[in-house]
Structure 1
Amino acid sequence: MRPMFKQLAIAWALLVSVAAQGQDLHFSQFFNSPLTTNPANTGFIPDGDYRLGANFRNQWSSVMTLPYKTMSAFGDMQVAKDRFENGWVGVGAVVLRDVAGSGNLTSNKVYGSVAYHQMLGFASLLSLGFNIGYANKTINSSNLKFPDQFDGRFFDNKLPTSAVLAKNNVGYLDLQAGLNYALFPTDKIYVNTGFSVHHINQPTESFFENDGVPTDNRIPRRYIGFLNGSFMLNDQWILNPNAYYTTQAGVSQLVVGANAHYNLSGDGENILIGGMYYRHNEAVIPMIGLGYKDYMFTFSYDATVSTLKNYNNTRGAFEFSLVKQGVFNQFRGDRRATICPSFKNL
């Protein structure tokens, strides 16, 4: 295949892949990015009272000079536990940054979240959450190449183009809401499901203008549903199945799989993690990790199974995740330390 046609084929395959994934940022380890999955997860921490985390994703480095890089950092905690009968409030925040392609399309987003969690009897929990944030996007148009700059052999960005950006910086407010339900009939069984709506206000995001008015390019609402569980098989093994579905602008994504925790030290202080996930028609995602005391580090790799594998040799993306959970001693009281199966309860 001639180099130019190969580059165009790769670009087209990447474009199709982006469309298949939807427009928003995403992590394969969605369960390790709780506040971007559902704002009702804010303060919903089965293993503790507070949580801090960071995620990093590098995508398509095998076929792009400047791969897509997505980073996030988040923190949330439980508050007002003594203000409500069998309930509490969760507060938190998340920061997202994404840099994509030769145009250095850069997204910076900051969200603040709040959620209320109410116990229903002794074995279930209902949660409602909201978040509001500010998003900013910038692009370096001088590095972009447009179709009318193709001279028959190469793209030459020194040639004039009719595609003119009115500005290279846009910003807007963004709103999300979500609902969660958790069931934990015994200390060995935990099931959780949730649904969230993102971009409720459908903010306008466009670098183009028409007669001085920004082009009406509204971000379509995104819907996310998930189902996860935690099952203690014995004193050595805990199994965590997960399923995630999202749809936006007529495209959808389904991820299913499971990971297992193996008790290395007997007291739950040292844990070995392994798992496998599948993004429908997109990638197989193996995952490995380690848990040490209150820290959990995991690594996953997206092995492409779509038509893009013909160009990237199945090398899709890799992710790192680091999460710390802890307990505030002054809040423990006689309340259960965890509502999720844990080796530390042995």
Structure 2
Amino acid sequence: MVWVAGISFLGIPESNAQDARFAQFYYAPLQLNPALTGVFEGQFRGVANYRELYTSILGAHPFRTLAASFDMRTNVGRYDHAGFGISALRDEAGISGFNRTDFSLSASYQKQMGGSRYNKSNQFLVAGARLGLGQRGFEWDKLWFTQQFDLNTYNVDQGMDSGEDFATNTTDLYVDFSAGILYYAVFGVNQSLYFGGSIHHLNEPNISFLENADERLPSNYVLHGGGEFPVSDNVSLLPAIAFMSQGPSMSTTFGANLRYSRREWQEVAIRAGLWSHISNKLDKEVHMDAMTVSAIIEFEGMNIGLSYDITTSVLSEADNSRGAFEVSFVYIHRPRDRRARVDCPRF
């Protein structure tokens, strides 16, 4: 059986991985770790992410990922907090129209380990979980198989019987469960540290397109961390790292954004960053396949991030080093009463 739509991309790390990846992972909190639900300095947060990959190769049919989330936090007792969120993701890949749609609810509990609500030093341990529904689909009529290749004319005749028995273009709806933990500490203005881990697809749902078949989605193990460290009165450094392992695929994204702001700017700041993405090939060899440059502007509770991936692997010969484009939007509604705010790390 030959699936022409995807066979030329079997060596591409992102096509092998089951889950979508964002270069600006720090701006996709509920996709990264359910324990990040409600971890922000404000009353509620809205997030939108869009990523487009391999446009220079696939033209009008690139890999596209769109995600959105909304979460909020409420006080529990005097010092602890609970977070609640909702998220959705749509992933599309190539001319075959392969797609993935997820819809999830998440919750977290934030336990204060040290400091106080009004102190400059706060430490929290957070546990979170996410429960969702998912479905995957294909457009089979855009694929052709070996039985449809006419040896007399050397052409593909999609009107011929493919020899394949596809009863449906989609998988059954499946239940998906994820869980994670997070530790963070805020030491003062522009000083914070955080690290955590999550396991996605804990129940390894069946994602087979065929009836009476069993194809399990491997669990995705994530470790991540970062922080903010002052360089001067106006400049701070925000390094971050995310490691992911799912089935035979592993990847790591790491780097830093440099943030600049002035007191007279009030809530306005700009950032610029450089990031590296490392992954393994099918033969287990590890290589750096992309460098990412990022630019972010912050104003009045809104963060708008742009990033561009520069291909550094052998694929650069095909796409002229033109990789992925990504845009992120984050809005955090902050109460005017400073006493109602909770210190959280800046991502």
Asked if the contact 1:184–1:190 (Cα under 8 Å) also holds between the matched residues in 2, the reply is: yes
- Identity level (%): 28
Counterpart residue number, 1:52:
46
Cα shift at 1:183: 2.0
Counterpart residue number, 1:102:
95
Q: Distance in 1 between matches of 2:202 and 2:342?
A: 35
Q: Distance in 1 between matches of 2:100 and 2:6?
A: 21
Q: Distance in 1 between matches of 2:24 and 2:35?
A: 18
Tell me if 1:318 matches 2:325.
Answer: yes
Q: Distance in 2 between matches of 1:224 and 1:130?
A: 14
Query: Partner letter of residue 290 of structure 1?
Result: I
Q: Distance in 2 between matches of 1:151 and 1:58?
A: 35
Cα shift at 1:186: 3.3
| Cα distance change on mapping 1:146 and 1:264 into 2, 3 Å | farther
Cα shift at 1:149: 3.3
Asked if the contact 1:20–1:251 (Cα under 8 Å) also holds between the matched residues in 2, the reply is: no
Q: Distance in 1 between matches of 2:226 and 2:80?
A: 22
Q: Distance in 1 between matches of 2:169 and 2:15?
A: 26
Moved more, 165-174 or 175-184: 165-174
Cα shift at 1:263: 1.0
Q: Distance in 2 between matches of 1:119 and 1:108?
A: 35
Counterpart residue number, 1:159:
160
Query: Partner letter of residue 219 of structure 1?
Result: L
Counterpart residue number, 1:248:
246
1:253 is paired with a residue whose SS is strand
Query: Partner letter of residue 95 of structure 1?
Result: A
| Cα distance change on mapping 1:247 and 1:154 into 2, 3 Å | farther
Cα shift at 1:49: 2.7
| Cα distance change on mapping 1:339 and 1:102 into 2, 3 Å | closer
2:31 is paired with a residue whose SS is helix
Matches within 5 A, 1:205-224: 205-209=207-211, 213=212, 215-224=213-222
Counterpart selection for 1:90 from 45, 70, 83: 83
| Cα distance change on mapping 1:147 and 1:23 into 2, 3 Å | farther
Normalising by structure 1, report the TM-score: 0.88
Asked if the contact 1:132–1:175 (Cα under 8 Å) also holds between the matched residues in 2, the reply is: yes
Q: Distance in 2 between matches of 1:155 and 1:242?
A: 49
Tell me if 1:43 matches 2:38.
Answer: yes
Matches within 5 A, 1:130-149: 130-149=129-148
* Residues 246-297 of structure 1: per-residue CA shift (max 9 Å, x gap): 0000210011100011115634422111101000121000011211111110
Q: Distance in 2 between matches of 1:151 and 1:207?
A: 27
Q: Distance in 2 between matches of 1:341 and 1:139?
A: 39
Normalising by structure 2, report the TM-score: 0.87
Q: Distance in 2 between matches of 1:53 and 1:188?
A: 22
* Residues 191-248 of structure 1: per-residue CA shift (max 9 Å, x gap): 1001000001111001113xxx1x1101011100001111122231121001110000
Measured on the aligned residues, the alpha-carbon RMSD in Å equals 2.2
Cα shift at 1:300: 0.5
* 5+ long unaligned stretches in structure 2: 116-121, 279-287
Counterpart residue number, 2:309:
302
| Cα distance change on mapping 1:11 and 1:137 into 2, 3 Å | closer
Q: Distance in 2 between matches of 1:59 and 1:258?
A: 22
Asked if the contact 1:227–1:243 (Cα under 8 Å) also holds between the matched residues in 2, the reply is: yes
Tell me if 1:284 matches 2:291.
Answer: yes
Asked if the contact 2:190–2:229 (Cα under 8 Å) also holds between the matched residues in 1, the reply is: yes
| Cα distance change on mapping 1:261 and 1:13 into 2, 3 Å | farther
Counterpart residue number, 1:4:
none
Asked if the contact 2:196–2:224 (Cα under 8 Å) also holds between the matched residues in 1, the reply is: yes
| Cα distance change on mapping 1:262 and 1:187 into 2, 3 Å | closer
| Cα distance change on mapping 1:148 and 1:313 into 2, 3 Å | farther
* Residues 294-332 of structure 1: per-residue CA shift (max 9 Å, x gap): 111011011111111111111111000010112234xx5
* Residues 40-95 of structure 1: per-residue CA shift (max 9 Å, x gap): 000011x323211100011111111311111011111111x1x3241010001111
Q: Distance in 2 between matches of 1:322 and 1:309?
A: 29
Q: Distance in 2 between matches of 1:149 and 1:18?
A: 29
| Cα distance change on mapping 1:204 and 1:126 into 2, 3 Å | same
1:169 is paired with a residue whose SS is coil
Number of residue equivalences: 325
| Cα distance change on mapping 1:157 and 1:240 into 2, 3 Å | same
* Residues 135-163 of structure 1: per-residue CA shift (max 9 Å, x gap): 12222111112244345755443333223
Asked if the contact 2:100–2:134 (Cα under 8 Å) also holds between the matched residues in 1, the reply is: yes
Q: Distance in 2 between matches of 1:126 and 1:219?
A: 29
Q: Distance in 2 between matches of 1:18 and 1:142?
A: 26
